[in-house]
Amino acid sequence: MFRRTGLSGLDLDQLFIVSPNPYVILDQDFTMLGVNDAYLAVTMQGRESIIGRNMFDVFPSDPDSVHGKMLRQSLAKVFRTGQVDHLPLITYPIARPDGSLAERYWSATHTPIKDDTGDVRLLLQHTVDVTELHLLRQANPEATFQIQTDVMRRADAVQGENLALGEEREYLRSLFEQAPGFMAVLHGPEHIFEITNAAYETVVGRGGLSGRTVRDALPDLVGQGFYELLDKVYRTGESYSAFGARISLKPTKVDDAEERFLDFIYQPLRDQSGNVSGIFVQGHDVTQLKRAQEAARESEDRFRTLAQSMPDHVWTATAQGVLEWCNPAMLSYAGWLNEAAVPESFAVLLPPTESDRIRGLWRATLASGENFQSELRLRGHDGNYRWFITRAVPIRNADSQIVRWVGTNTDIEDQKKTESRLESLATTLESRVEERTAELLKTQEVLRQSQKMEAIGNLAGGIAHDFNNLLQVITGNLQLLARDIGGNEAAERRLNSALAGATRGARLASQLLSFGRRQPLAPKVINLGRLVREMDHLMRRSLGEAIEIDTIVGGGLWNTQVDPSNVENALLNLAINARDAMDGHGRLTIELGNAYLDDHYAQNAFDVEAGQYVMLAVSDTGCGMPADILARAFDPFFTTKPEGKGTGLGLSMVYGFVKQSGGHINIYSEPGSGTTVRIYLPRSMQSEDVLTEDVGGQVTGGSETILVVEDDDAVRDITVSLLLDLGYKVLKARDADSGLAIIESGVQIDLLFTDVVMPGRLKSSELARKAKERRPDIEVLFTSGYTENSIVHGGRLDPGVNLLSKPYARETLARKIRSLLDRARERAALNGTGAGEQSPTPPVPSSIRVLFCEDEALIRISTADYLQDFGFTVVEAGTGGEALEAMDGAAIDILVTDVHLPDMNGLDLLHRVREVHPDLPVIFATGDMHVPGSEALEKASLITKPYDYDLLAKRIRDMVAGS
């Protein structure tokens, strides 16, 4: 096998054969080309049964077992890479002569043998039987060294103190140098280094050891026990083995000692007489393996600590997919008591209907080595199933082979339920979108209708002022002319026709204002049941005897705040329309009741708020209306009546009046089934007002002085003429500034008659306020064809304001002025001043500073205007924050605040204000009937919306005076 040349009587074959450790030489097909005696001894085989045969044919092993794979992979790696590979521990069965198998543990080192070109031609396997040591480690680690000594006893080492130089020595040294582990031969009891290989010098970190004693060459081993072990082996002649022994060396040029771990054998060498002459040192540096094992152990500890603290399930499985460990979260969920109770697979937790599918996916993953992921249901310890998403990733070694699987189960039960709900919602989404689209189209149509009516209303309001001024000129002159043509029947007939035409024009302007929500309403708190009963005679006379009228009034009918005359006109209009629809014959039903329009109704209707209403319904048994006619029922000038039978403004006027009153109106009609019009007017919580009827009477004038303020010359002239004709003294002015100058001149004036809308710096409302300040007993009468927002707010005439709408007749003017002057005379009598006497002008009281906090801009502006008209100084605020800023450094006498503000509650605002001004009085002006928490407050009062300005002003004066 080797070249045989003399070497002190020994040849190389003999050295190979008598080596104390088992060696075998293999080619790339794993054919055994040479073995030594130690190999034959441990394998219990004969040379003739081994040489020339495949190793795995002689020593069969399972190629799929862990150790079978490790051995084959190591052999293949050496041939592939040309690098030494060491297997610290494998198990391999050895066949006994009787055919039975002996399970043995081995430490194997595979070293490549290269040819002159550097290619690996052969492989040298060196094995050490460590069975007893392995078993002892498990049973009794402290007895390891003694067992290893028995295991490692080998034949005497080849001795030769005087080996000759030559080709054989060089060959032997080459073989010695290529040995996979570190080797050294020590001579004599002083343990003198005779020969060392490169691996040994690498381990100890120095060279030049030959001829030096161990103690001299390696002084850093002092105190580590190695000197004593060598002495013992030499003295007793017994070998010594160690695995993972710790050694501390201090290599040359290195300050700090280096710690290493070694597997080694001290084998005694004997001379021909059998006496110990030296020690053969052989071993492997397992420092990297040891550190890798420690790192792996630390990594595994960290992994287990992390996995055990995770709420998700964490598990590991072998490369073959066998479940080997689960964290506490998974043990608790499955009901497994401990790790010992973990089955080979958690397929036992799968539903029977899904088990085959998941098993198939797992087998495919094991075969492909790819990541595993699947959504599945797992049964808990309570028998219920929950959804999880299971993921597993392979853990590979340095050779990219899978050694373990690490997996997690994440609970997605809530996510699955959410997905299910989303799917359910998705199934109805299309129908909902269609419904929403239809609602949107309906809303858009209602909005277009509302915008159209708003536009027409704005047009109507825009022309009403000038149109009514023209009518006023016409009617005034016609009435004056009537006195000049008395006795001329033809002229009187023509004059009456002209007056009738002017009256119809005035009615048309009034209807336009009503539709456009521009008419000045004078709302009163009334009970519609009483009003409808009082109209019964008028209704029957207007409809005729062929129409049967039924009136139904619900019990406990609420009050509503509305303009009575407009309610009467609306009801009469609806009744006349119903009569025409029934062609003069049928049944008319008037129904009154309480109603509540909820949020759902308000969301599906346009321009209506949810709340309590009083319902007035008018139903007929007429022909009804088709859908296209119904859609245009409220349009102005739209009518289905023949030409000349109607203006088309009846329903439009009702619509405008209801909307201006804050109500809602709806029409229900089908061809052949009649029509029902329902009007909803807001409920009022106040008591019913007592209504007085203007019975008219004889038209009379007087001798008092009246100041007429009118910017239209023609209207001013005709008004002055009418008043002069009635006997009054008349002063006139073309604007508010001129009128104020006349008032301040000191001339006697009993009544101020002023237009509302005029050009100039001063508004008519300001003129009236200043006139009252200077002459408290003066009466004020406003007139206008279109009031805008000067004395009408929210469509309602401001409290305490007297208005005569244009165009007005001479009789109406006379009665209105006489009524106001008579009331002034009565007040003067009660105050002790004679009629016509000018009361002394009282001193203007010092102004009360009011902080008024209201988030609704229209309410804030109108209320502030009127409080200023009453002589107060008003500081406005739209939020609580603005109110607090206004209080900073300002002298405020009283706080008037809404309760519901955008940024804070009115009570909170008061508490913060009273931190600085503890005695400041407060009035809560709100729509609520009760303010919780206000009972315990001092100097606090409540006034509910809609409130009377006179009452608010009186309340302010009383509270400031009492503070």
Give the tens place of pLDDT for each residue, 578-613: 888 888 888 899 999 999 888 888 777 767 788 899
Better-predicted residue by pLDDT, 295 or 5: 295
Longest pairwise C-alpha distance within the chain: 181
141, pLDDT greater than 60: no
Which residues lie closer than 8 Å to 9 by C-beta, 6 or more apart?
Answer: none
Which span out of 69-73, 86-90, 782-786, 829-833 was modeled with the highest average pLDDT? 69-73
Cα(247)–Cα(685) distance, integer angstroms: 102
Better-predicted residue by pLDDT, 860 or 898: 898
DSSP 111-173: EEEE-TTS-EEEEEEEEEE-HHHHHHHHH-GGGHHHHHHHHT--SPPPP-TTPPPSHHHHHHH
Cα(262)–Cα(244) distance, integer angstroms: 5
How do residues 259-290 score in pLDDT, each as one tens digit? 888 888 898 988 878 889 899 898 888 887 77
772, pLDDT greater than 60: yes
In this structure, of 213-217, 454-458, 682-686, 930-934, the range with the lowest mean pLDDT score is 454-458
Beta bridge partners of 753: 708, 781
pLDDT of residue 789: 44
458, pLDDT greater than 90: no
Whether 775 contacts 782, CB under 8 Å: no
Cα(204)–Cα(249) distance, integer angstroms: 7
Cα(70)–Cα(773) distance, integer angstroms: 115
* Residue corresponding to tokens 């392995």: 134
CB-based burial of residue 839 (10 Å sphere; 0-12 exposed, 13-18 middle, 19+ buried)?
middle
Whether 791 contacts 803, CB under 8 Å: yes
pLDDT (mean) for 148-166 = 36
pLDDT of residue 706: 92
Q: For residue 268, how many C-alpha atoms fall within 13 Å in the half-sphere facing its CB?
A: 22
**Alpha helix segments (H runs only) across 402-488:** 413-484
Cα(181)–Cα(200) distance, integer angstroms: 8
167, pLDDT greater than 80: no
How do residues 779-837 score in pLDDT, each as one tens digit? 898 887 654 444 555 445 555 677 777 777 778 888 888 888 888 887 776 665 544 44
pLDDT of residue 810: 79
Q: Which H, E and C letters describe 514-572, residue by residue?
A: HHCCCCCECCEEECHHHHHHHCHHHHHHHHCCCEEEEEEECCCCCEEEECHHHHHHHHH
Cα(851)–Cα(879) distance, integer angstroms: 12
**Residue 245: alpha-carbon gap to chain centroid:** 64
254, pLDDT greater than 90: no
Cα(412)–Cα(931) distance, integer angstroms: 50
Q: What is the DSSP letter of 788?
A: T
How do residues 745-755 score in pLDDT, each as one tens digit? 878 899 999 98
Whether 784 contacts 756, CB under 8 Å: yes
How do residues 339-373 score in pLDDT, each as one tens digit? 778 888 878 888 988 888 888 899 899 889 899 99
Whether 742 contacts 749, CB under 8 Å: yes
Which residues lie closer than 8 Å to 915 by C-beta, 6 or more apart?
Answer: none
Which residues lie closer than 8 Å to 237 by C-beta, 6 or more apart?
Answer: 268, 270, 276
423, pLDDT greater than 80: no
pLDDT category, 926, cuts 50, 70, 90?
confident
Cα(729)–Cα(424) distance, integer angstroms: 84
Beta strands at 313-318 and 276-285: parallel, antiparallel or unpaired: unpaired
Cα(531)–Cα(562) distance, integer angstroms: 12
Q: What is the dihedral of CA 954, 957, 958, 963, to 10 degrees?
A: 160
Cα(601)–Cα(607) distance, integer angstroms: 11
CA dist list (Å): 312 to 332, 362, 372, 601, 865? 11, 20, 17, 50, 69
- Residue among 15, 35, 53 nearest 124 (CA): 35
Six token digits for residue 159? 């001795």
pLDDT (mean) for 21-27 = 87
Which secondary structure element, helix H or strand E, spans residue 588, and what is its range? strand 586-597
Whether 182 contacts 203, CB under 8 Å: yes
pLDDT of residue 629: 77
Cα(858)–Cα(409) distance, integer angstroms: 63
Give ∠ CA 918-866-609 in degrees, rounded to 5: 90
The structure's pTM equals: 0.35
Whether 281 contacts 185, CB under 8 Å: yes
Strand order in the sheet with 803-805: 729-733, 705-709, 751-755, 779-784, 803-805
Count other C-beta atoms under 10 Å from residue 455's C-beta.
Answer: 11
**Is the peptide bond preceding residue 946 cis, with omega within 30 degrees of 0?**
yes
Beta strands at 547-553 and 586-597: parallel, antiparallel or unpaired: parallel
3-state secondary structure of 586: strand
* Residue corresponding to tokens 């300040």: 773
* Residue corresponding to tokens 């209506």: 608
Which residues lie closer than 8 Å to 515 by C-beta, 6 or more apart?
Answer: 453, 456, 457, 460, 636, 649, 652, 653, 655, 656
- Residue among 851, 828, 852 nearest 840 (CA): 828
**Is the peptide bond preceding residue 22 cis, with omega within 30 degrees of 0?**
no
In this structure, of 120-134, 587-601, 683-697, the range with the lowest mean pLDDT score is 683-697
pLDDT of residue 394: 92
pLDDT of residue 949: 72
Task: Please report, as a single letter, which amino acid is at residue 487.
Answer: G
Which residues lie closer than 8 Å to 185 by C-beta, 6 or more apart?
Answer: 157, 193, 194, 195, 196, 269, 278, 279, 280, 281
Give ∠ CA 426-429-432 in degrees, rounded to 5: 160
Give ∠ CA 798-800-803 in degrees, rounded to 5: 70
In this structure, of 32-36, 194-198, 614-618, 873-877, the range with the lowest mean pLDDT score is 194-198
In this structure, of 479-488, 692-701, 812-821, the range with the lowest mean pLDDT score is 692-701
How do residues 493-535 score in pLDDT, each as one tens digit? 777 777 766 665 665 555 555 544 455 566 788 888 888 888 8
pLDDT category, 133, cuts 50, 70, 90?
low
